[in-house]
A and B are shown apart, each in its own frame.
Chain A
Amino acid sequence: MSPRRHSRRQFIGRMGGVLSWASLAALMGAAGAAGPAGAQSPGPPNFAPRAKRAISLFMSGAPPQMDLLDYKPRLAAYYDSELPDSVRGSQTLTGMTAGQSRFPIAPSYWKFARYGASGRWVSDLLPWTSRMIDELTLIHTVNTDAINHEPAILLMNTGNMVPGKPSLGAWLSYGLGNMNENLPAFVVLNSRLIPGADNQPIAPRLWGSGFLSSEHAGVAFRSQGDPVLYLNDPDGMSRETRRALVSGINAVNQLTYEEVGDPETHARIRQYEMAFRMQTSVPELTDTANEPKSTWELYGDDARVPGTFAYNCLLARRMAERGVRFTQIYQRGWDVHKNVVGNLPKLCAATDRGCYALVTDLQRRGLLADTLVIWGGEFGRTVYSQGGLTRDNYGRDHHPRCFTMWMAGGGANPGIAHGQTDDFSYNIVEDPVHVRDINATVLHLLGIDHEKLTYRFQGLDQKLTGVVPAKVVTELLA
């Protein structure tokens, strides 16, 4: 590493990497000494992982926990009565309901029943989820710092409300690397929109790589048409010509690297190589023609339509089989400020079966034991109605103090429900789990000590869980 090749800032910035490479080299000797052709990585997991890979089912917009999985039977008696000040406390409300003269309690429209050997209460809206309830680790007491979508979804995905930090998937790609060199370590699947639902925008910064090398960013597949653009060879261009073209571009990029010394140029070379390999691997990945009949029986006919949530769940299973480290499926539309009774059934119908099918399919194929599935949104929703309240029409505003997530497989403790909220699903009574605790726990299941997976940037050993102390929630581990 000569000073001419690197600016002072890069040289110092890279020292962290160099040091961790030094320790890795000590561990791995020649096998670990990666040149510019290999992506930078801090090496093997800190300890033997429970999960080799993870799949996030991200319900963007925030599902209402008390209509789905956080059963609150006593609410019925409080229909249309005012949410007590003692419950609401000092909670700041969003601009959408802060001006309301009343905060009338809206009990859930749906019936709940107990399912499984664990006897968990599940809403009638989730008939498929209720069938696998014994496989799930319910967490009723997730809480977040943000009350609006963008900061909350950033916090959930990147551990920070401010844009620019690496996402969970990028950290996993950086920390654990690829299992299949022909596919990205981190793939994002955006599901089709659900007609009539309130769709909040999402953006690539949610799966960005931040200050990590850009090859760790999630590769987003399109929900319609070709999953990845320009993977097909244009008319008149053979694969050999394509290969020569990519090699030529790489040679020019290598010259640029030798002149400027920016490691990002190497990341670019690796991305070109990955794209070239994806010309073969992605068509194979997305070709579901050979799926057996049992697949369609499990996932339903929705899964035959590219871009649906069910189709993406099937793709996630196929990626798990092929060694993609982290797959994140986004389903937008959960922002039910109004007409919960009208919209929530559509959202549940679009996602419930896919979730069940994915977990069940992973289970029967022997993949669930080392695949962690995570379901949840960016925050919860209020027990009081936004706007007017009738028996069959109410809305729910954003609520950061408690919401429900679940995990399945990958070393999560099946059949348990962790934490308790109050009778209004407004405050946490027992065992709060902050977003950063969720992230620490997810990393733990993948063999990573969240305090040790760091990257020096702006004078700080940055980590996914940030500077506020986070803890692994040991009760969630099997």
Chain B
Amino acid sequence: MGTRARLALIALVPILGLFCLLVFAPPDGLERASLAQFFGHFHPLAVHLPIALLLLVPLMEIAGANPRRAHIRAAAAFVLGLGVIAAIVTPLLGWLLAWSGGYEGALVTRHMWGGATLAAACWITWILRGHSRALYPVALLATVGLMAWTGYRGGQLAHGEEHLTQHMPQTLRSLFGLPAIAGDGAADGDPATFYGARIAPILKDHCLLCHSSEKHRGGLRLGTYAAIMHGGKDGPVIVPGNPQASELHRRISLPAGDKDAMPAEGKPHLSAADIKLMDLWIAAGASATLPRDAIAGAARVEGPELPSAPDFRPQLQQIAALEASLGVQLVPRSQIPTDGLILRTASFPAHASDATIARLAPVRSLIVDAELARTAVTDAGLAPLATFTNLRKLDLSYTAITSSGLRALAPLRQLETLNLTGTATSAAGVASLKSNPALKHIYLFQTPAEE
């Protein structure tokens, strides 16, 4: 038996041992002795060796195909040998990390079996080199392919499942048949709730890499509301109503240098604003159902808003014609075509009258904000105005309208703000607005109704 055969047999022992470990001692999500963890943490460092070495082999084989560079090809055998050693040591370290570091789940299992199979594939490739000119290239190709697959799974474990695709341009995404990137991609929870809209995205961005159902350091999973409230192996991490007593608050508020600070291992820390949001949420009882905007003091976010009005674009020509003939402006509230139009009269308020409002009937559902201050509008104009059913804001200040005319506004179910400054509105007129369900602000400065 030659040296080479003996080496091959010796190398087979750890490979078979590796498979035994995977079968009889799979990672179970518990954390273990720190010495195993110490060695295990060299795995992310060591993985680069087999990757580099195994990629080098086919390059050397191809480059060395030219007889003038035959020496390169001769060295390929040596590099491949090193690759076999690296491909055996690395998964052993990986198993140490997984077994001792609190890992479990489908992704970890796939990555580990990939690693073990890769070690075996390397070994076979190494045997085939020099024995079969036909099979060796096939085996080499398969090994490199397997390595890419395993490496990708490892990358997903370390950097997140979408680490290669999350910043992919939209055109490439559609080429690969990937779904479009979601707006804010809350991990869990209804986006109408504070938890779903504000808390879950923070956890997703900063915590889930190490505290999910795939990988749960300290037994802590932060992927779902139930798991968050369950806590980790040392108990709950959130004390509802008391951020100061909550372990989660303590960990995320510690300075980056502290050994207990989270996120650990140099990952980006939560911003002060995020920490404040977490504290506010915990202080408010850490509820999963509290509405999105229910916590005073929490900075507002622009959520997906319901359309205020129908899309104005199909009526563009009509809008332009009305502007020209009526001497008013119909201004889009924003570039979002369902945000509605503002009826603006500031340039020539005296030109806008009851007849103007009547003639705006074709676009009445598009107008969400009517600026009619100082116009010639009277009570007679309020009846046609009441058919502007999407009206949110109405400014009638310094017009000749009276209390009796206001009754006509009852059909405006969406109306939130009504400015009656400088009109003859009386207390009775204000009382007649009680039936407008959305009305939040009525301005009555310089009116008889003002107390």
In the complex with contacts A29-B317, A322-B346, A474-B273, A366-B417 CB distance below 8 A: yes
Given B299, B313, B334, B373, which contacts A46 in the complex, CB threshold below 8 Å? Answer: B334
A365 touches B272 (CB 8 A): no
A-side interface mostly: loop
B323 touches A31 (CB 8 A): yes
In the complex with contacts A46-B335, A475-B273, A365-B445 CB distance below 8 A: yes
Query: What A residues does B339 contact at CB under 8 A?
Result: 47-48
B347 touches A43 (CB 8 A): no
In the complex with contacts A321-B373, A416-B297, A31-B319 CB distance below 8 A: yes
B272 touches A430 (CB 8 A): yes
Minimum CB–CB distance from A116 to chain B (whole Å) comes to 15
Q: Is A364's beta carbon under 8 Å from chain B?
A: yes
Looking at A61-69, A177-185, A217-225, the stretch in contact with chain B turns out to be: A177-185
Minimum CB–CB distance from B145 to chain A (whole Å) comes to 41
Q: Is B344's beta carbon under 8 Å from chain A?
A: yes
Output the nearest chain A residue to B276 by Cβ-Cβ distance.
A475
Q: List CB contacts (< 8 Å) of A413-445 with chain B.
A: 413, 416, 430-431
Q: Is B446's beta carbon under 8 Å from chain A?
A: yes
Q: Is B212's beta carbon under 8 Å from chain A?
A: no
User: How far is B334's CA from A43's CA once the two chains are assembled, in angstroms?
Assistant: 9
A366 touches B443 (CB 8 A): yes
A180 touches B347 (CB 8 A): yes
User: How far is B316's CA from A427's CA once the two chains are assembled, in angstroms?
Assistant: 54
A48 touches B446 (CB 8 A): no
B313 touches A478 (CB 8 A): no
User: How far is B357's CA from A385's CA once the two chains are assembled, in angstroms?
Assistant: 63
Query: What B residues does A477 contact at CB under 8 A?
Result: 299-300
Q: Is B25's beta carbon under 8 Å from chain A?
A: no
User: How far is B313's CA from A292's CA once the two chains are assembled, in angstroms?
Assistant: 44
- Chain B contact-residue range equals 35 or more
User: How far is B393's CA from A274's CA once the two chains are assembled, in angstroms?
Assistant: 29
Output the nearest chain B residue to A24 by Cβ-Cβ distance.
B335
Given A181, A365, A447, which contacts B397 in the complex, CB threshold below 8 Å? Answer: A365
B333 touches A44 (CB 8 A): yes
Minimum CB–CB distance from B331 to chain A (whole Å) comes to 7
Q: Is B332's beta carbon under 8 Å from chain A?
A: yes
Q: Is B302's beta carbon under 8 Å from chain A?
A: yes
User: How far is B300's CA from A30's CA once the two chains are assembled, in angstroms?
Assistant: 36
A366 touches B421 (CB 8 A): yes
Q: Is B90's beta carbon under 8 Å from chain A?
A: no
Output the nearest chain B residue to A431 by Cβ-Cβ distance.
B272
Query: What B residues does A44 contact at CB under 8 A?
Result: 331-335
User: How far is B331's CA from A43's CA once the two chains are assembled, in angstroms?
Assistant: 10
Output the nearest chain B residue to A321 by Cβ-Cβ distance.
B373
Query: What B residues does A17 contact at CB under 8 A?
Result: none
Given A29, A292, A416, A474, which contacts B301 in the complex, CB threshold below 8 Å? Answer: A474
User: How far is B348's CA from A179's CA once the two chains are assembled, in angstroms?
Assistant: 11
Minimum CB–CB distance from B449 to chain A (whole Å) comes to 13
Q: Is A194's beta carbon under 8 Å from chain B?
A: no
Minimum CB–CB distance from B411 to chain A (whole Å) comes to 22
Minimum CB–CB distance from B198 to chain A (whole Å) comes to 11
A292 touches B446 (CB 8 A): yes
Q: Is B395's beta carbon under 8 Å from chain A?
A: yes
Q: A: which residues have CB within 8 A of B?
A: 27-31, 43-49, 179-182, 292, 294, 321-323, 364-366, 369, 413, 416, 430-431, 447, 474-478
**13 extra A-B contacts, CB within 8 A, seeds A27-B337, A322-B346:** A30-B317, A43-B335, A44-B335, A45-B333, A45-B334, A45-B335, A47-B339, A48-B305, A182-B347, A294-B446, A365-B397, A366-B443, A447-B334
A-B CB contact pairs (8 Å), 10 listed: A27-B335, A29-B320, A30-B320, A31-B320, A44-B332, A179-B344, A365-B445, A413-B299, A447-B334, A478-B300
